[in-house]
Structure 1
């Protein structure tokens, strides 16, 4: 898949924003007054900013509202509705915390909405039969774990951040180990795609056309193995390897900023690989798989 900057920004920032809002919802931390304004402001800025970035990937952003009507069959529609509901309830909850009004049950509802929103985002990709690498339990598990880990880091929750970042590193390695073999294991070939395998060996006599097209631009992206290995190492070091020892040693204002920036940069790198390595089966028709 083409690693579009808008989608990478969307999945990274919205995950961080809803992750931070999750921890605020369960009272970790439990700020009031101007401190609450800063925490909730950051959570909403990341969440709304990420969702807004996703609109730039649409061919007709002015029609985005129509996607909300397909909630019965579309995970994209469910994600939009879940995000809107969570942010609206979250806004009310944020107001109660700024004013110092107890509203714990409302906060729990916000946290539940955050988990639901991130899960629906992950399911947009998990449900795609055409991308075997994504169609696995590790996809929603990673989306949720990264969201909670990043949120814990932003919320200065030391022990949850340590556990969740380590869990994310393990999940990422598991996702790569199985994902690298999943396309071959699906036994999807040009023969199965055309249904002609029963009459002999199938191969393309001529390319479908001589120039590029939308399918090649959006669904067929090839990245070299050497670059993949380099980016995986860089992503792991930035997202987990650097923040973990900083958190374990105890965060100051400067080291906290370094840990957050490194984690965000690492997640952006890992998310780029998530899309760049997605082997869409349409590539079979163009000899790219």
Structure 2
């Protein structure tokens, strides 16, 4: 699928922002007074910045409020409702920490749970899509949650949990790539199964002579060599280098560098998350025959 910059920023920024809020909600670190103001401001800036970025992918951003209306059936609506609830609770939690000098445990636990639920709801927007086999896997929500918690732990300066969360996220990311590469073939969707005409069916001509929305948004291919190179870069930045920094030198400056490297890696991995996803509609254009283009 076509990797939209707004959605990449949305999932990356909100993921690490909600992850940071989860740790703050758990009282880790103890952030009160002026220090708390800086911590909560950073967490809200990342989270709200990501949510704002998501509106730029809408055809009519002024109608974004309608996303709240279908929460019974839509993971997008559930994400929107959960995000507002999570931010409202964490705003109260942050106000108490900054103004009153303590972090209310009940509000913190409730806010942390809502933040994690929001991250999982975001992941489920993609996981539920059976038309995109690479996303329709258990690894998708697990990876979203682990990366959110790992990024949040780095921002919170908690190196021990960050180390293990990064290692776990790295293992799940490798699993997601290996699982995703064979997902389209194992899905067994072909022109024959889609049209129910027969095993020998093939497209006589392309459905359109020019470009259209489906081809722009749903049919995108990244070359195999290019994808593998980007995977190596993403893994090194997102997992390997931050883990190495934590093991060798966990001083404040190096932790800051680890955060930046990790976030850069998440951006690359999210670009691949969308670029490598094969929508079954590509079969009608002869574009989704293999998991990765051989170009």
TM-score (norm 2): 0.96
Structure 1 position 252, deviation (Å):
2.1
Q: Does 1:21 align with 2:41?
A: no
> What is the 5 A alignment of 1:172-187?
172-187=173-188
1:18-76 Cα deviation digits (max 9, x unpaired): 00000000111011101000111111000000000000000000001011000011000
Q: Does 1:279 align with 2:273?
A: no
Preserved CA contact (<8 Å) 2:32 2:103: no
Structure 1 position 113, deviation (Å):
0.5
Partner Cα distance (2:15, 2:271) in 1: 15
Partner Cα distance (1:241, 1:102) in 2: 34
> What is the 5 A alignment of 1:241-256?
241-256=240-255
> What is the 5 A alignment of 1:160-175?
160-175=161-176
Q: Does 1:93 align with 2:82?
A: no
Stretches of structure 1 that go unaligned for 5 or more consecutive residues are none
Residue equivalent to 1:120? 121
Structure 1 position 88, deviation (Å):
0.5
Q: 1:247 to 1:221 in 2, by over 3 A?
A: same
Deviating above 3 A after TM superposition, structure 1's stretches of 4 or more consecutive aligned residues are: none
3-state SS of 1:131 partner: coil
Aligned-pair RMSD on alpha carbons? Answer: 0.8
Residue equivalent to 1:203? 202
Residue equivalent to 1:268? 267
Q: Does 1:111 align with 2:87?
A: no
Residue equivalent to 2:75? 75
Structure 1 position 195, deviation (Å):
1.4
Count residues with an aligned counterpart. Answer: 287
Residue equivalent to 2:49? 49
1:177-230 Cα deviation digits (max 9, x unpaired): 111001000100011111112xx4010001111100000000001000000110
1:249-288 Cα deviation digits (max 9, x unpaired): 2322321221111000000000000000000000000000
Residue equivalent to 2:293? none
> What is the 5 A alignment of 1:210-229?
210-229=209-228
Partner Cα distance (1:283, 1:251) in 2: 47
Partner Cα distance (1:281, 1:140) in 2: 21
3-state SS of 1:201 partner: coil
Preserved CA contact (<8 Å) 2:93 2:103: no
Partner Cα distance (1:26, 1:102) in 2: 9
Partner Cα distance (1:103, 1:154) in 2: 21
Preserved CA contact (<8 Å) 2:27 2:103: no
Residue equivalent to 1:61? 61
Q: 1:93 to 1:233 in 2, by over 3 A?
A: same
